[in-house]
Structure 1
Amino acid sequence: MTTPQSGGPLADLSAAGVSLWLDDLSRQRLHSGNLADLIKDKHIVGVTTNPSIFAAALKDGESYQEQAGQLAAQKASVDDAVRAITTDDVRDACDLFADVFASSGHVDGRVSIEVDPRLAHDTENTIAQAKELAKIVDRPNVLIKIPATVEGLPAITAVLAEGISVNVTLIFSLERYTAVIDAYLDGIEQAKANGHAVAEIHSVASFFVSRVDSEIDKRLKAIGSPEASSLLGKAAIANARLAYQLYEQKFSGERWEALAADGANAQRPLWASTGVKDPAYDDTQYVVELVAPHTVNTAPEKTIDAVADHGVIRGDTIAGTYGASSAVFSSLEAVGVDIDDVFAVLETEGVEKFEQSWAELLETVQQSLAEPGTENQ
């Protein structure tokens, strides 16, 4: 097994400035020692969760039986039960990452928990639940995930203004990413005005990767021309690279420098959805082709294992790519791909998928609460 002491691709990735987070969490991982082993052996320095991850975790209900029984005895509602179960797992994960949090100067060792996806278009209730989740978890290394919908943008600002660290999720387009960075800067300025120590507020902007190729490749195959076929599998990496260019541009200049002088942290780009969905593609590409300083890659364990086994880390693979990346999008438009429509579809589907997963999660917990004899488990 590759260990931090013995080098290897994951050590190379970390040395290149990429923080590797696990895109998964379950009580089984926590209690078995699996997550602790990944921290020790696989350079994992954070965890992200989402409704789909919790839905999958709770389908393996054995780890949750005792708590479900206690909640049933208390006659907890299904929403309260889900909140208790998920925040307990996130709190325990935060505690497990406490040493990483300290040794990284509070940059890493982060664990994310998402607001109810049914609130994706409800600004005020997103703000309220984000504050509630931060209070319940009650750990300095928690990140509250808020989707980058139009309605989510003012919520991001408001939650940051309260001194709460935020993971902005479901970002697909450069246009929306620009608005996300502006929402972040507004929030940090307000937090400063509110008397919060801005050095203690952190944020990542989760730019989804593989789903971009899935949607655009589908459209390219439908077009079917040689020009369209030549663009298969190129859009997602190009999109993320252009996002990094935007990050470099926005976190410079007078406005940012004034905040940085007060200790503010730049909002790091996070590459999400980095498991390859098309088996024709290299299963490490959304990691090895998106290496740059001050980035996060949150990956499923299967992808992390693939990188550890055969990933080739070539140092920074984003610098110097902006012209070629922009040319990919010019070519996509030239063959007839409606890029704006792609991103609109991806955001809508992203919210819907998380809503479906949340419904599954609620149903699973409802069944656990209702099982006869559960309270005696």
Structure 2
Amino acid sequence: MTRLERISVEQGQSLWLDNLSRPQLRDGTFARLVAAGIRGVTANPTIIARAIESSDAYDEQFESLLSAGCTVEEAYWELVISDVVRALELLRPTFDQSHRGDGFVSIEVAPRWAHDTDATIVAARALHERIREPNLLVKIPATDEGVRAIEVMIGEGRSINVTLVFSLRRYGNVLDAYLSGLEALARRGGDLSTVQSVASFFVSRVDTEVDRRLDATGGQAALRLRGRAAIAQAKLAYQLFQKAHSNARWERLAHQGARVQRPLWASTSTKNPSWPDTLYVDSLIGPDTVNTLPEVTLHAFVDHGTVARTIDTGVEDALALMGALSTVGIDMDDVGHTLEEQGIAAFDASVAHVLGTLRARSRASRTTLASPRPGRPSRHASESGPSTAGA
């Protein structure tokens, strides 16, 4: 077996791809990764914007959507949904063979709604209604407002990927929202077994921010703690996950068919070149977890990653590290809040940028169509004639 297959069979962890692009969907790259053992796919507004802006694979559909009367923003969402639907088709066999345990594709609500509970609910509900596939996860950010929306969506029986989780306090909120949502669904007589959820706990970005603060603090005590916070915090998050899914509250829900909300390790590429390139994979392997990997990290793991249970080793050391960080003035809740706001701002900027790019393409397209070419009449001059009937 490959390492991708072994980590699932031997360790109970699913590896998902953190990328989604139309060229890979078309040329067979994505299908080959699924055949090799990738069990799901995630993306975010930045990944999607990069895909659209860097490829002409979207141009034909974009032009068709504009011709049909779509606004640029409406066309953008149609481009995104088309890729998601195709990925859902390719992963449906994984979903079925795993008895609804894997084979998921995520699509994120617009980041501008991150601090608006009602708007998030409307947007998430609309995506679920538009893409009626059981292996769809709608992404909702774990802001205060987002957590309230997550509880409502779970209570409606909708499957959710909770994204942008950066701190243990916030993760505790997310776990409670999931359980409360399931309890609400049970009171309504809903089928708990159909609800799927993951909580995307971001990793490498935590080290980046904590190390920045440690460098600013200075001193040997602070500098010795660099590069250790993210893995330690993730290990403690797994302890919270186990605790939330091993008590009487959970047992009542499990008896009604509820599935655990798996922790998903996100942001797992190594940002510091002096660290191992599979650091955030090798260190966080354990049952009932997901790790979503960008392609560079995925290929590195396939080549030389370690397949062994590591998620619950060194827990006491992780607790001690959190105490040491506090001693030198690092507030992990504040780190989490800072990264949450940075993440939302970055995703919002990505959407704004790709919409700007698409608007520029739209203007260029209209200019080209309106300008007569040598030896040919303009579209305007001939649009009423039979030669344009299929345009």
Match of 1:197 in 2: 191
Displacement of 1:10 in angstroms is 2.5
Gaps of 5+ in 2: 370-389
CA distance in 2, matches of 1:136, 1:363: 25
Displacement of 1:77 in angstroms is 1.1
Match of 1:356 in 2: 349
Match of 1:331 in 2: 324
Tell which deviates more after alignment, 17-26 or 219-228. 219-228
Match of 2:155 in 1: 161
Q: TM-score, normalized by length of structure 2?
A: 0.92
Does the CA-based 8 Å contact 1:91-1:138 persist in structure 2? no
What SS does the aligned partner of 1:35 have?
helix
**Rg (Cα) greater in structure:** 2
Residue 111 of structure 1 pairs with residue 111 of structure 2: no
Match of 2:297 in 1: 303
CA distance in 1, matches of 2:210, 2:203: 11
Displacement of 1:98 in angstroms is 0.7
What SS does the aligned partner of 2:56 have?
helix
CA distance in 2, matches of 1:11, 1:357: 34
Displacement of 1:372 in angstroms is 2.0
Match of 2:338 in 1: 345
Match of 2:49 among 34, 55, 59: 55
CA distance in 1, matches of 2:359, 2:155: 35
What SS does the aligned partner of 1:61 have?
coil
Question: 1:40-68 CA distances to partner (integer Å, 9 max, x unpaired)?
Answer: 12x10000011001100001231101101
What SS does the aligned partner of 1:62 have?
coil
Match of 1:23 in 2: 18
Match of 1:38 in 2: 33
Equivalent residues in 2 for 1:217-366, closer than 5 Å: 217-313=211-307, 315-366=308-359
Does the CA-based 8 Å contact 2:20-2:43 persist in structure 1? yes
CA RMSD in angstroms comes to 1.5
Match of 2:66 in 1: 72
Equivalent residues in 2 for 1:119-138, closer than 5 Å: 119-138=113-132
CA distance in 1, matches of 2:359, 2:101: 37
Higher RCO (C-alpha under 8 Å, 6+ residues apart)? 1
Displacement of 1:278 in angstroms is 0.9
CA distance in 2, matches of 1:144, 1:51: 13
CA distance in 1, matches of 2:364, 2:27: 26
Question: 1:84-123 CA distances to partner (integer Å, 9 max, x unpaired)?
Answer: 1111110110011010000011110000000000000000
Match of 1:367 in 2: 360
Match of 2:90 in 1: 96
Identity percentage of aligned residues: 46
CA distance in 1, matches of 2:238, 2:312: 9
Gaps of 5+ in 1: 1-6
Tell which deviates more after alignment, 126-135 or 319-328. 319-328
What SS does the aligned partner of 1:350 have?
helix
Match for 2:171: what amino acid? Y
Q: How many residues align?
A: 369
Match of 1:3 in 2: none
Displacement of 1:368 in angstroms is 3.1
Tell which deviates more after alignment, 85-94 or 328-337. 328-337
Match for 2:355: what amino acid? L
CA distance in 1, matches of 2:234, 2:313: 13
Match for 1:22: what amino acid? L
Residue 10 of structure 1 pairs with residue 4 of structure 2: yes
Tell which deviates more after alignment, 189-198 or 268-277. 189-198
Match of 1:179 in 2: 173
Question: 1:222-252 CA distances to partner (integer Å, 9 max, x unpaired)?
Answer: 2222222211110000010000000000111
Residue 206 of structure 1 pairs with residue 215 of structure 2: no
